Chain A
Amino acid sequence: MNFLAFIGRLVLSLFAEVGRLSVFLKDAVVHTVAPPMYFRLIFEQMVKIGYNSLPVVGLTAFFTGGALVLQIYVGGSRFNAESTAPSIVALGITRELGPVLAGLMVAGRVGAAIAAELGTMRVTEQIDALTTLATNPFKYLVAPRLVAAVLTLPLLVLVADTIGVMGGFIVGTRSLGFNEGSYIINTVDFIEFDDVFSGLVKAAVFGFIIALMGCYHGYYSQGGAQGVGRATTNAVVTASILILAANYILTSLLFTNI
């Protein structure tokens, strides 16, 4: 009986959570699209989310590109197809690894920061104070972060794509003996607009997920410093899982008809 009650409670709290998230999502979207918009806040957030994430995302992309070309070279050599390595690296980075790795890194960096900031504002009653000053917290806190993340992630991914391919290029030409000119030709000739574009669509979705999870968990945090810590962890974990799930769904949608 106790076990059944436990299952029951679990299911109930799951539904409650999904319901609360749905309401939050609705409010967030409504306040994001309805005027007024705080352009200054959006810009501030874009700097925080985008510019400050450049080093992390750049380094991740660089090393991944480098590792990728090594692996694909080994794999390719088993079919005497080493020469395809540059094109496959470019495809892998732009379609898959660029957006996913940038998304995960930014989830760790920015999702956590958003949850911690909003969580602290919640437990120190700053969000209540906003409301009493006739300012809607969704409009002032949530909407700018959502907009900024959706706009910024694709830009970050463009940078990640470029640096990732460059990582592959450097490792490929320095340690695998590719000719520099033919590496570039192999990359540029092979890659299509859709490869890059689909990665950017993914990035925008990931940006939305990161900001939404950060805001949601922060907004509803309770119970002092411990609660803020929990909110931060939850924001990162749920954003990461949702990014990977969304990546699968988007990949199957975006690439099935190609």
Chain B
Amino acid sequence: MSEDRHIELTDVHKRFGTKNVLNGVNLHVERQKSLVVIGGSGSGKSVTLKCILGLVTPEQGSIKINGQETLGISSGARDEVLSKMGMLFQGAALFDSLLVWENVAFGLIQGHNVARDKAKDIAFEKLAQVGLGSEIAELSPAELSGGMQKRVGLARAIATDPEIIFFDEPTTGLDPIMGDIINDLIVDCVKQVGATTITITHDMASARKIADKIAMIYEGEIIWHGDAADVDESGSAHVEQFIHGSDEGPIQTESVIL
């Protein structure tokens, strides 16, 4: 195998109650590359990330990180894997009992035993990278706007300079200019810092900017996976419809059926 697969999912199935959410996801990301996952609302994008992080346990399949199987590993080994990952949650998921900078510094202090002062400095630096000034660092997350919370979540995800970073809709809820700053930041994470990233987005402009590869998920399966440059000639009617945001095509949304 010539390519170096940092993350590899094979035939991953996940069901909630009687509802099949993932029906055999096959996906991989090469080391220091950026994968963008697109797909309709409720198609299983966030669940896929949670499976990789081990927050959700698939019934079936294999998830390898650095070539090592991670399904069914001990919690000690899981912590080891997680300490190399960062995650921006779709809803930011900031700890509301902590200050903004404490949120950003959390992984450094708890997970990596960095001294509090040093972690605070790093937190301020990361906040600056997402366009947030020091004046908000001592506020509590509830005092921030939705877009600001999202950026704090982003700063928290990248604070420990993890090898692997997941961004669940990083630019949703941001204005176009700020969205572009965040896009640049994600590109930097990959190109400068050398992280491997998976980004979920609905925003095709953002996808084109940050992706090396693009994968489209539909009804719990990856229906297209290829180079970002090829997305316009994918040959897949689903992808075509999605990137043009058209209501005509194979993807039937509930509102169209109604």
Contact = CB atoms under 8 A, between A and B. Distances in A.
Nearest to B85: A132
Interface string A106-117: 000000000001
A131 B56 CA distance: 12
A140 interface: yes
Contact of A134 (B90, B94, B97, B107): B107
A153 B97 CA distance: 24
A17 interface: no
Given A133-B106, A134-B82, A134-B111, A128 B55 contact: yes
Contacts of B94: 126, 129
Interface in B78-122: 79, 82-83, 85-87, 89-91, 93-97, 106-107, 110-111
B50 interface: yes
B53 interface: yes
B123 to A, nearest CB: 13
Q: Is the interface of B mostly helix, strand, loop or mixed?
A: mixed
Given A128-B50, A128-B55, A133 B91 contact: no
A93 to B, nearest CB: 36
Contact of A135 (B50, B87, B96, B106): B106
Given A132-B55, A132-B82, A134-B83, A125 B111 contact: no
A126 B111 contact: no
Contacts of A128: 50, 53, 55, 89, 93
A124 interface: yes
Interface of B: 50, 53-55, 75, 79, 82-83, 85-87, 89-91, 93-97, 106-107, 110-111, 156
Nearest to B55: A128
B89 A125 contact: yes
Interface magnitude class on chain A: 10 to 19
B95 A126 contact: yes
7 contacts: A124-B91, A126-B93, A128-B50, A129-B87, A132-B53, A132-B82, A134-B110
Interface in A164-183: none
B114 to A, nearest CB: 13
Nearest to B97: A117
A135 B110 CA distance: 7
Contacts of A130: 95
Given A129-B93, A131-B54, A134-B110, 5 more contacts: A128-B53, A129-B87, A131-B82, A133-B111, A133-B156
Nearest to A138: B75
Nearest to B106: A133
Q: List 6 A-B pairs, minimum CB-CB distance, nearest first.
A: A134-B111, A125-B93, A129-B93, A133-B107, A134-B83, A132-B87
A125 B79 CA distance: 18
Q: Is the interface of A mostly helix, strand, loop or mixed?
A: helix
Nearest to B81: A134
Contacts of A131: 53-55, 82
A132 B110 contact: no
Nearest to A125: B93
Interface string A126-165: 1011111111100010000000000000000000000000
A133 B89 contact: no
A128 B50 CA distance: 9
A134 B97 CA distance: 18
Contacts of A136: 75, 79
A125 B91 contact: yes
Contacts of B50: 128
A133 B110 contact: yes
Given A128-B50, A129-B87, A135 B111 contact: yes
A109 to B, nearest CB: 18
Contact of A140 (B85, B87, B107, B110): B110
A132 B91 contact: no
Contacts of A126: 93-96
Contacts of A134: 79, 82-83, 107, 110-111
A54 to B, nearest CB: 22
Contacts of A117: 97
Nearest to A139: B110
B195 to A, nearest CB: 15
Contacts of A133: 82, 106-107, 110-111, 156
